[in-house]
């Protein structure tokens, strides 16, 4: 099954509406069942609801403008722009591909240097994690993320997935969930729009993102020696979601 052969776009902007509602549902157990956190003010739901309504209106308005003014059907089949030809390891590398590979390797090297300078793996040490977000880490991430996506989008060579995996592991070792999740999600979106990706691979990728989210978050929390958590990895996700929304609720109140 290929979603792109039909009129369904897996990364349609309206998916954000579903994800927002899902985020709320995930947070609710910590408010109303476990009662680990205080339940938010009703204004939170009002503001989120209004935000979603304006967002939906903006999506449909954009589609209307595209169809009427620019004659672009937003619901038409998605066409791959790049559609890169499959390349084997023995096929020659173009200059642009070598530049992108070099940038990816530079990002990986900088991240290795960052971990070495820290003197350990931040994922397993809260003290090191607090120091992991260095300028070297930031530069390596800024270089790696766009470079690996451009490389995957433009050149269909299996060896590039090894570079993706190495970078993913290295950034996961810093103990931050956002960076590896962004790498995995951006790579999934890139491949979705430049390859004929089967449904099973999309599901596996989404499951992998969920596993990384749970694993990195849980291990990092357990490494904080001055905190004692009784929550399991799944409950911890609910706690994080509820805590984030509570912060938003407080911001609304103020």
- Domain assignment present for 92: yes
| Euclidean distance between CA atoms 206 and 137, whole angstroms | 26
Rounded to 10 deg, the angle between the 178-194 and 135-154 helix axes is 10
Considering the domain architecture, whether residues 33 and 130 belong to the same structural domain is answered as no
Neighbour tally for 35: CB within 10 Å: 10
Give, as one character, the DSSP assignment of residue 87.
Answer: E
Q: With pLDDT > 70 as the criterion, what percentage of the chain qualifies?
A: 84
- Tokens 């090297």 belong to 109
Considering the domain architecture, whether residues 100 and 169 belong to the same structural domain is answered as yes
- pLDDT of 148 reads 96
Residue ranges for the chain with pLDDT beneath 50: 1-5, 77-80, 226
Of 149, 169, 194, the domain-final residue? 194
pLDDT tens track for 20-46: 999 999 999 989 887 778 888 889 999
| Euclidean distance between CA atoms 26 and 216, whole angstroms | 18
Burial of 54 (0-12, 13-18, 19+ CB in 10 A): exposed
Considering the domain architecture, whether residues 94 and 163 belong to the same structural domain is answered as yes
pLDDT tens track for 91-109: 888 899 999 999 999 999 9
- Copy the structure tokens of residue 3: 């979603």
Domain extent, residue 185, equals: 81-194
- Domain assignment present for 199: no
Number of domains in the chain: 2
Cα 9 to the chain's mean position, in Å? 18
Considering the domain architecture, whether residues 133 and 88 belong to the same structural domain is answered as yes
Contact 69, 102 (CB under 8 A): no
Considering the domain architecture, whether residues 163 and 237 belong to the same structural domain is answered as no
| Euclidean distance between CA atoms 168 and 116, whole angstroms | 17
Burial of 12 (0-12, 13-18, 19+ CB in 10 A): middle
pTM, 2 dp: 0.69
């Amino acid at each position: 099954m290929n979603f792109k052969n039909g009129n369904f776009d897996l990364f349609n902007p309206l998916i954000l509406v579903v994800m927002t509602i899902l985020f709320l549902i995930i947070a609710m157990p910590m408010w109303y069942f476990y009662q680990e956190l205080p339940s938010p003010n009703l204004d939170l739901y009002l503001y989120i609801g209004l935000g979603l309504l304006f967002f939906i209106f903006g999506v449909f308005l954009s589609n209307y403008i595209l169809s009427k003014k620019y004659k672009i059907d937003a619901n038409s089949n998605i066409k791959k722009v790049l559609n890169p030809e499959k390349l084997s390891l023995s096929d020659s590398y173009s200059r642009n591909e070598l530049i992108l590979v070099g940038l990816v390797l530079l990002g990986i090297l900088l991240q290795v240097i960052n971990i070495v300078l820290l003197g350990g793996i931040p994922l397993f040490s809260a003290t090191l994690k607090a120091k992991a977000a260095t300028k070297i880490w930031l530069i390596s991430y800024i270089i790696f993320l766009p470079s690996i996506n451009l490389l995957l989008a433009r050149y269909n060579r299996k060896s590039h997935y090894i570079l993706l995996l190495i970078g993913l592991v290295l950034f996961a070792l810093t103990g931050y969930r956002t960076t590896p999740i962004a790498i995995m999600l951006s790579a999934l979106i890139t491949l979705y729009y430049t390859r004929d990706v089967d449904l099973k691979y999309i599901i596996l990728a989404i499951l992998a993102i969920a596993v990384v989210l749970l694993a990195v978050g849980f291990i990092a929390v357990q490494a904080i020696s001055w905190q004692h958590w009784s929550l399991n990895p799944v409950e911890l996700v609910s706690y994080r979601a509820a805590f984030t929304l509570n912060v938003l609720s407080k911001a609304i109140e103020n």
